[in-house]
Amino acid sequence: MVSRAEKERRLKQKARVIWLFGLSGAGKSTLANGLERALLADGFTTHLLDGDNLRSGLNRGLGFSDDDRAENLRRVAEVAKLFVEAGMVVVASFITPLARHRALVREIVGSADYLPVWVDASFETCARRDPKGLYAKAASGAVAQFTGRDSGFEVPEVDEGAWTLRTEEQTPDESLRTLREWVVPHLRCDGTKRA
C-alpha cells in the first residue's frame, strides 16, 4: 500500500481539512471558492466539498432533520478523511449547525487534521445578505427546518477549538486574505514558500 505520508511528500503538503461552518449567508461558499483558488495559486493540491456536490450525489435522499443532517455530515467527514489519506487538502463548506455535528466531524477526520473555521455573521446580517433567497423563503414559511429559525445554530464554545472569522467586520477580499494567511502555514511541510 502507498502510505498517506508518501502521498503528502509527493504533493509537498500536509493533508488537512479546513471546515468552514456557520449560517447560510455568512460567506462560507464565497470564502471556500476563493480559498481553493488561492491555495491552488500557492501550489497546493486541493478539493472543495460542499452541499452542491454532495447533496445531489452521495447524500441524495437525506433531508434536513437533525438526524439526516448528522448522517449527511458523517458521510462528508468520511469522504474528507479519504481525501486526507490521498494526501489532499480539503476545503469543506457546510452549515454544521450543532456542536454535536462538529464533534462528529472532528472525531471522524481526527483532531490533528481538522481545522474548523467559524464563519461568523449575525442572523440579521445573513438575512439581509440572503444570497440564495433562503431567508425570504423561510420568512414566508416555504423552507422547512431552516437553520436559525426552526432549527438552531449553536455558537461554538471556546473548547471546540474553532478559529473565528467575523465577516461583518471585513470586506470579502479582506476576509479571504485573513483566512488564507491563517490556513497556509498549517499546510506547509517545511515552512518554505511554495509555487
Q: Give contact residues for a second copy (rule: CB under 8 A).
A: 1-2, 6-7, 10-11, 33, 36-37, 40, 45-49, 53, 57-58, 75, 78-79, 81-83, 85-86, 88, 108
User: Residue 174 — φ and ψ, nearest 5°?
Assistant: -65, -40
Taking the complex as a whole, how short is the minimal distance between the CB of residue 184 and a second copy, in angstroms? 17
Taking the complex as a whole, how short is the minimal distance between the CB of residue 157 and a second copy, in angstroms? 27
Can you tell me the distance from the alpha carbon of 18 to that of 93, in angstroms, rounded to the nearest whole number?
8
Measured from the CB atom, is 72 or 147 closer to a second copy?
Answer: 72
Taking the complex as a whole, how short is the minimal distance between the CB of residue 124 and a second copy, in angstroms? 29
Asked if residues 121 and 49 have their Cβ atoms less than 8 Å apart, the reply is: no
Can you tell me the distance from the alpha carbon of 80 to that of 157, in angstroms, rounded to the nearest whole number?
24
Q: Of 34, 29, 22, 89, whose CA–CA distance to 53 is shortest? A: 29
Measured from the CB atom, is 49 or 176 closer to a second copy?
Answer: 49
HSE-up (13 A, CA, CB side) for residue 107: 10
Taking the complex as a whole, how short is the minimal distance between the CB of residue 121 and a second copy, in angstroms? 22
Measured from the CB atom, is 93 or 167 closer to a second copy?
Answer: 93
Taking the complex as a whole, how short is the minimal distance between the CB of residue 162 and a second copy, in angstroms? 23
Helical packing angle, 172-187 and 28-41, nearest 10°? 50
Measured from the CB atom, is 109 or 127 closer to a second copy?
Answer: 109
Q: How many residues does the chain have?
A: 195
Taking the complex as a whole, how short is the minimal distance between the CB of residue 91 and a second copy, in angstroms? 10
Cell of 10: 509527493
User: What's the Cα-to-Cα distance from 150 to each of 21, 85, 97, 103, rounded to whole Å?
Assistant: 18, 37, 12, 22
Measured from the CB atom, is 93 or 96 closer to a second copy?
Answer: 93
Measured from the CB atom, is 18 or 48 closer to a second copy?
Answer: 48
